[in-house]
Amino acid sequence: MSTVLAARHLNKYFYDPERFRVLSDITFEVQAGEFVAIVGKSGCGKSTLLYLLSTMDTDYEGQIELAGTLLTGRSQDYLAHFRNEHLGFVFQFHFLLPEFSALQNVMLPALKLGKYSADEIEARAMAKLSMIGMADYALKPASKLSGGQQQRVAIARALINDPTLIMGDEPTGNLDKANTDNVFSIFRELASGGQTIIAVTHDPDFAAGTDRVIEMSDGLIVP
Amino acid sequence: MNLRIASQIARTHLLAKKRQTLVAMLGVTFGIAMFITMISFMQGVNQFLEDSALDASPHVRMYNEVNTQRPSLIDALRPGGFNVTYHQKPKNELARIKNGLTIADRIEREPNVLGVSPQVATQAFYNNGPIQLSGTISGVNIERENRLYNLEKRLKSGSVNALRSNPDGLIMGTTLAGKLNVATGDKVTITTPTGSTRVLRVVGTFGFGIGTIDNTKSYANLPTVQELLGKDPSYITDIHLKMSDPLLAIPFGKVLQAQYGYHTEDWATANTAILAGEKIRNMLTYVVSITLLVVAGFGIYNIMNMTVMNKIKDIAILKATGFEGHDIVAIFLLQAVFIGFSGGLLGLGIGFGLSYLLSITPFDAGGFISIKTFPVIFEPKYYVNGLLFGVITTVLAGYFPARKASHIDPVAILRG
């Protein structure tokens, strides 16, 4: 098994209103194919950690290596391109572009990557949508979908570029029981297909269904 | 950078919020439309005032300046002595330009000279029954004079040809004719300062739209006036000339003065007050245009800023899913270009429409000024400038907020 993600001695501070250490000396690795849940109480720094790993927050000490590439100290544009190619995101509040149809939302990151032609991308996006059972809603504007439906489209969007790693920030945090089960089963299915997934969650049922649970408390990993 | 996808996103943004797009476009439209209307009208007024003043005056006028001041004989003999001369008799000096006709022909052959009109100008009294009015009368070769001042167009009645065929004809300023209560076909008695009298027939009336001319001046044939003054057929007092470019006339006048020894006066010296007024109006036009453009520019900036800020969450999402800073800038710049260009074009259309409406609005300026509607000029330059300004301002107004937005940290937005 190869290492997909390696975090070494991560430290992160907040400066407002005063200097405060959010993460202290976080070190861990994630292997390819693992389904990892990061759990912990509110304010323990788990979301902060995920944002560091996602490369979107670059203000930290330590080193992050993803898919064999050292990402610490890279330019914003390099990181954007890296995210596009290697990372898929599922946020708590889905964050689809409201003016675009479900299909377009899924297609956009792939169009940006430009690895396939527009027709191929559309076919691939439709395949991802049917995989999560959203094919019938492909042409509806994202703003007209229900919360659960939007979250499923967001998962399809995260999958479109066949990312090395999928990151979820409370992916079920805003969903009811039925939708939570639905979304979780999609994740579970992806994981069994060999997809590496890291999800921050405070849902014990969700965490229990994963391969490995990293528990955090006060900016430290609980051993 | 992938422009196709940026343009696709830009198009979707524009189409999704049609009303907002329209409002942004109209912001540009009104600014440009007002600018076009304003500058077309103001420049039209400037042009009209300049034309009406300069059309009626020659680019260069050559004349013999009668100056009876001369040193007394004793001063000439004993310069520097304590000489007192009382009541020196003025020298009899004629206003004639010697060899005037020859000079006129030679000047006419110079490059850039459009036309030369040698003439005899004199004071005169116009008598019609008991009414007596003073004015001036110019003896001209009417064809040459017509070439200079486009008299045919300025005639209110009669014709230029009638003067040519009638040695006793007279073309009179329209206001002067009105005061004398004469019309084309009537007779007027002319008395010159030298005392000679002659009855001439009015064969036409003209109006330059300038009170001092329409109120006092008449044209007669050159031999008629020479005869009236009791002079020979070579007697010329003034040479008027027009050039292809009025600006050339200023140095050319000085050259002529040096060459022939007669006093010359160019249009700029003769119309100093009008030119000063023109400068002030030009300044005013610039101030008003710049004010309009600055106000419009700020309006556009506000709208573009709002457009970008409304999309801040989308920008964060796009960045999170791998779009780079310059993609974000491209998306909003494309929107700005579209808004600026279409709004600008619409503005040009509305500006043109308003200018056109203004140019056909009847304007009663009284009898003096020869216009029936507001003067407006349609200069393609202003339209090009207006559109350029609209597009450039909008692009700049879109670029700065977009660049700022492209630097934001997506985490800060997505965390909420």
Query: What's the mean pLDDT in B274-297?
Result: 83
Residue with the two structure tokens 């003025």: B90
Write the residue in A56, A111, A157 that is nearest to B409 by C-beta.
A56
DSSP assigned state of A218: T
Query: What's the mean pLDDT in B379-394?
Result: 86
User: A109 versus B181: which is more confidently predicted?
Assistant: B181
pLDDT at B297: 80
Query: Is B319 touching A (CB cutoff 8 A)?
Result: yes
Query: Is A93 touching B (CB cutoff 8 A)?
Result: yes
pLDDT at B56: 77
**Sorting pLDDT into bands at 50, 70 and 90, what band is B172?**
very high
Write the residue in B2, B314, B320 that is nearest to A56 by C-beta.
B320
Query: What's the mean pLDDT in A53-80?
Result: 80
**Strand A196-200 with A165-169, pairing:** parallel
First-last CA distance in chain B:
29
Residue of chain A nearest B325, judged by CA positions: A77
pLDDT at A121: 81
Query: What's the mean pLDDT in A122-136?
Result: 78
What residues of A are in contact with residue B414 (Cβ under 8 Å)? 56, 91, 95
Q: Which amino acid is at B96?
A: R
The answer to whether A86 touches A198, Cβ cutoff 8 Å, is no
- Angular region, A90: left φ>0, alpha ψ -120 to 50, beta rest: beta
**Sorting pLDDT into bands at 50, 70 and 90, what band is B415?**
low
A10 contacts: CB under 8 Å, gap ≥ 6? A23, A25, A26, A27, A49, A52, A60, A61, A62, A63, A64
Residue of chain B nearest A104, judged by CA positions: B9
The CATH class of the A34-60+72-222 domain is: alpha beta
What residues of B are in contact with residue A54 (Cβ under 8 Å)? 320
Q: Which of A192-201, B20-29, B221-230, B363-372 has the lowest mean pLDDT?
A: B363-372
Query: Is B273 touching A (CB cutoff 8 A)?
Result: no
What residues of B are in contact with residue A42 (Cβ under 8 Å)? none
A111 and B320 within 8 Å at the Cβ level: the answer is no
The answer to whether B245 touches B112, Cβ cutoff 8 Å, is yes
Task: Answer positive or negative: Cα dihedral of B402, B404, B406, B412.
Answer: negative
| Structural Rg of chain B based on CA atoms | 33
Q: How far apart are CA A97 and CA B9, in angstroms?
A: 10
First-last CA distance in chain A:
22
Q: How far apart are CA A126 and CA A144, in angstroms?
A: 18
> pLDDT tens digits, residue range A1-25?
577 788 888 788 888 778 887 777 8
**Sorting pLDDT into bands at 50, 70 and 90, what band is B369?**
low
Candidates B5, B8, B311, B321, partner chain A, best to mutate (most A CBs within 10 A): B321
What residues of A are in contact with residue B409 (Cβ under 8 Å)? 56-57
A108 and B9 within 8 Å at the Cβ level: the answer is yes
What residues of B are in contact with residue A84 (Cβ under 8 Å)? 321-323
The answer to whether B242 touches B148, Cβ cutoff 8 Å, is yes
| Structural Rg of chain A based on CA atoms | 17
Beta bridge partners of A141: A101
Write the residue in B313, B324, B414 that is nearest to A81 by C-beta.
B324
What residues of A are in contact with residue B15 (Cβ under 8 Å)? 99
A108 and B314 within 8 Å at the Cβ level: the answer is no
The answer to whether B240 touches B195, Cβ cutoff 8 Å, is no
Q: Which amino acid is at B218?
A: S
What residues of A are in contact with residue B5 (Cβ under 8 Å)? 108, 111-112
Candidates A15, A42, A48, A56, partner chain B, best to mutate (most B CBs within 10 A): A56
Q: How far apart are CA A205 and CA A213, in angstroms?
A: 12
Beta bridge partners of B218: B137, B172
Nearest to A139 by CA among A98, A95, A104: A104
How many interchain CB pairs under 8 A, A with B?
76
pLDDT at B366: 61
Residue with the two structure tokens 């050259």: B255
> pLDDT tens digits, residue range A136-184?
777 778 778 777 788 888 888 888 877 888 888 887 777 778 778 877 8
Task: Tell me the shortest Cα–Cα distance from B355 to chain A, in angstroms.
Answer: 40
Query: What's the mean pLDDT in B248-262?
Result: 88
Q: Which amino acid is at B136?
A: T
Task: Tell me the shortest Cα–Cα distance from A223 to chain B, in angstroms.
Answer: 28
What residues of B are in contact with residue A89 (Cβ under 8 Å)? 320-321
A56 and B410 within 8 Å at the Cβ level: the answer is yes
A57 and B2 within 8 Å at the Cβ level: the answer is no
Beta bridge partners of B185: none
Angle CA A57–A59–A60, to nearest 5: 105
Nearest to B24 by CA among B394, B406, B311: B394
Q: How far apart are CA B377 and CA B355, in angstroms?
A: 8
pLDDT at B416: 56
**Sorting pLDDT into bands at 50, 70 and 90, what band is B138?**
very high
**What secondary structure does DSSP assign to B305-366, as a single string?**
HHHHHHTHHHHHHHHHTT--HHHHHHHHHHHHHHHHHHHHHHHHHHHHHHHHHHHTSB---T
Say what percent of chain B tops pLDDT 70: 97
**What secondary structure does DSSP assign to A24-90, as a single string?**
EEEEEEEETT-EEEEEE-TTSSHHHHHHHHTTS----EEEEEETTEE-TT--HHHHHHHHHHHEEEE
Helices (H), B118-209: 142-149, 151-154, 160-165, 174-180
Q: Where are the beta strands (DSSP E) in A134-219?
A: 165-169, 196-200, 212-217
Query: What's the mean pLDDT in B267-284?
Result: 83
Query: Is B317 touching A (CB cutoff 8 A)?
Result: yes
pLDDT of B350 higher than 90: yes
Cis check: omega of the bond before A17, within 30 degrees of 0: yes
Query: Is A95 touching B (CB cutoff 8 A)?
Result: yes
A214 contacts: CB under 8 Å, gap ≥ 6? A28, A36, A37, A38, A39, A221
A99 and B322 within 8 Å at the Cβ level: the answer is no
> pLDDT tens digits, residue range B319-329?
887 788 788 88
Beta bridge partners of B119: B140, B238
